Amino acid sequence: MIFLSQHIKVLVKGTIKATAQQPACKECQTSCQSACKTSCTVGNQVCQNR
């Protein structure tokens, strides 16, 4: 849901903290096994369970 108000527009509803209570299954791709091998980004990996 995106809602508008006078000063703030929500573009992305973050869920990072909400997932802190669940253990990481670590089924998603290891970042260095994708395209980089030298300067990892982890935030662009895709969750295998959603």
Partner 1 sequence: MHVFRFRGKILTLDPITGTLLEVDELAGEVLKLWPHMTPAGVSEALSLRFSAHDVARAMGEVEELVSLGLLDAIMPPEPTYSAADLCQVKALCLHVAHDCNLRCRYCFAGTGDFGLERGMMDEATGRAAIDFLLRSSGARKHLEVDFFGGEPLLNFDVVRRIVAYAEEHAPKWGKLIRFTLTTNATLLDEVTTQYLNDKQIAVVLSLDGRQAVNDRMRPFAGDAGSYTSVSAAILRFVKSRGGKNYYVRGTYTAHNLDFATDIRHLYDLGLRELSVEPVVGGAGESYQLTRDHLPTLVQEYERLADLYLTKQEEGDPFNLFHFNMATYGGPCFGKRVSGCGAGCDYLAVTPLGELYPCHQFVGQKDFAMGTVFTGVKAPDLAREFSRANLYRKPECMQCFAKFFCSGGCHAHAYHSNGTILKPDALHCELQRKRVECALGISAIRNVQ
Which parts of this chain interact with partner 1 (CB under 8 A)? 2, 5-48, 50
**Which of 45, 3, 7 is CA-nearest to residue 26?**
45
Residue 40 CA from chain centroid, whole number: 14
CB of 29 to partner 1, least distance (A): 7
CB of 21 to partner 1, least distance (A): 8
CB of 1 to partner 1, least distance (A): 10
